[in-house]
Amino acid sequence: MRAADRVPAPLLVLAAALSVQTGAGIARGLFDDLGPAGTVLLRTLFGAVVVGALWRPRVRGRDRGDLGAAVAFGLVLAAMNLTFYEAIDRIPLGIAVAIEFAGPLGVAIAGSRRRLHVAWVVLAGVGILLLVRTGGSASLAGVGFAAAAAACWAAYILLSQRAGRAFPRGEGLAIAMVVGTVALLPVGVAGAGSSLLALGPLATGAAIGVLSSAIPYSLELEALRRLPSRVFGVLLSLDPAIAALVGLVILGQDLGPREIAGIALVVLASVGASATSDEPEPAEAMP
């Protein structure tokens, strides 16, 4: 029996979420040196190196339509990560993740006519409204970037499903991450300049790439092998709460009662939508 088989699958999902949010918290510490754009470039670059080494994608002989899907996947991936980093540069990590969860929540209940699903949307909307109205902690620009990241996450889920059907294992993601790295080069270099070559940021960027991409993706693949996608989605819905905890521990971001209530409502809505979805699609976390 492999070591991973001895670990309960739900713990793998929670560990993946903790790894992603810890990576985001560490990344926030690089913003003073590299800015959000430079930081996300390093994260995506090192993530592409690790995931590419794991899956060794083949491009030759691929259908143009499949390659086009992988390219679109990569562009959305780049936009999602960049807007998310711009958001956490302006608002607390837990708030940004909670707002961003509107994307997968929308995908989970898209097209549903059940009244219960409408209730989950209303509940999430109330939670997000509480987060948006949290005094000076949530700037308009930060909320806007988080909302843009939510839209990108919704597109990411749909494109990742297509790439997953076109490419075996994680090859589609590996190609997409290379495309995303190339797309982020202009803004990353413009934002950070020669600081990208400093040893300290490079080492931290490598750690962020592993924490935010290689580790969680591997854990999630193992968990999805052993868990129904509905259960996976419920566990993934705890991300905003985990992000708030990481923001408190790593970044010292205290949240007030209204903010905590808003995050709790978003988590409850996401759990409810995942648990009651008619035909749950495989959930996708940010690589």
pTM for the full model?
A: 0.89
Give the pLDDT score at 236.
Answer: 86
pLDDT of 111: 62
Res 2: pLDDT = 54
Range of the domain at 167: 3-276
In a domain, 125, yes or no: yes
Instruction: Name the residue type at position 10.
Output: P
Q: In this predicted structure, what is the pLDDT of residue 3?
A: 54
Q: Indicate the number of domains in the chain.
A: 1
Distance CA 261, CA 141 (A): 22
Give a yes or no: residue 286 inside a domain.
Answer: no
Q: Does residue 287 lie in a domain region?
A: no
283 falls within a domain: no
Q: Is residue 282 part of a domain?
A: no
pLDDT of residue 78: 95
**What pLDDT shows up at residue 229?**
73
The answer as to whether 23 is a domain residue is yes
Helices marked H in the chain: 3-6, 9-28, 31-55, 64-88, 93-100, 102-109, 115-132, 140-166, 171-192, 199-209, 215-226, 229-236, 239-251, 257-276
Contact yes or no for 132/138 (Cβ under 8 A): yes
Whether 161 maps to a domain, the answer reads yes
How confident is the prediction along the chain (287 residues), in pLDDT tens digits per residue?
A: 455 567 888 898 899 999 999 999 999 999 999 999 999 999 999 989 988 888 787 777 777 888 888 999 999 999 999 999 999 999 999 999 999 999 988 887 776 667 787 888 899 999 998 988 755 555 888 999 999 999 999 998 888 878 777 777 778 888 889 999 999 999 999 999 999 999 999 999 999 988 988 788 778 877 877 888 778 888 888 999 999 999 999 999 999 899 999 999 999 998 888 887 665 444 455 55
Of 175, 154, 153, 152, nearest to 163 by C-alpha is 175
* Contacts for 42 with CB less than 8 Å, ≥ 6 apart: 30, 34, 188, 196, 201, 202, 204, 205, 206, 208, 209
Distances (CA, A) of 164 to 69, 111, 115: 10, 22, 32
Domain membership flag for residue 63: yes
Give the per-residue pLDDT at 104: 86
